Structure 1
């Protein structure tokens, strides 16, 4: 990356919210203009070819919007290792996706690799040994959420804070995901999280740019 990553507001896309898959690039463009600093393309339903086309469109939208606001906006793809390699995009994997070590070995070194962490034990495993640590962890779920149902028990702010602090001891940034909205984002501002991931709070908003501005403003104000 040519500039530090702004993890404060991380958008995970959804192919159904906001008007369907064709609407996702427009929403991403507006969200980046509103302050989103990182984007992850998540779609568990389509095949790799369709996913690659959708991810490329999102990456282009993020690049164009990032150029307008004067910063790089990294784009991750969720789980699809081959697509990440093909498009030169960053990758995020969960505990039940392709194993982290295999993904790291297959992904070019200049591309970031994120990992979902649901417990202290999973973090211990991810940070053990001499191999590379994740470039970022997604602490999940902070609260229960309807947009992703195959998750562990909610950690709450205290659990998310504990895991983030442990990650920081290895120099790994941590972002919280799961049930985060404008109404509760301020409750996480006092934790060690470097930022928050949102899905429906932006993807389902009537005005994605305004929603992003509002979320980032609430996070920043609460952080002091």
Structure 2
């Protein structure tokens, strides 16, 4: 092979090698360019849970059932006022007010605004309501039972819930629901007509609804010596 042919062969070989290097580098460069031009990967954003935090009170069933304002006396609540929750944030909060001097100067109580002397509320001091005592005859159950109803009225309204004689001699009819209890207490005398409803009490789910209170000092939210 002469010198010219040798030089042409060397140049051809170098050209082929360079082309192969450019091809590989082009793929690499193309990949790098592609990676550089691609949108940066998005970091997953934490989704807020719809569930309430553990410290938040669970919403009451009454809050989820629409308008509860005309429900009257039902197990666990009076209208929208739920015994399982504090007054603050309660579905029935608007029915309650705080009287700072209700009992005496500085001795306050939550009161049922429409009938503060005929409806007693537990939970003074900011705790959950817990219990509501009803002595107002204008407040009734869905079946129309109220303070002053006769034993016959109660028996007709709740044939599946017979009155049970309590240890103090009164008779109790206890109604149970998902949100708590209603206790209807019938008394014979002592200021009540023979065997009539002397009081109706509404309890939270964790309360004992089978205890008589007629003729005792056990009143929800009672003031000291107020009996």
State if a TM-score over 0.5 links the two structures: no
| TM-score, structure 2 as length reference | 0.27
- What TM-score do you get using the length of structure 1 for normalisation? 0.27
Q: Using CA pairs under 8 Å that are at least 6 residues apart, name the structure with larger relative contact order, 1 or 2.
A: 1
Structure in which a larger fraction of residues adopt strand? 2
- Structure index of larger Rg: 2
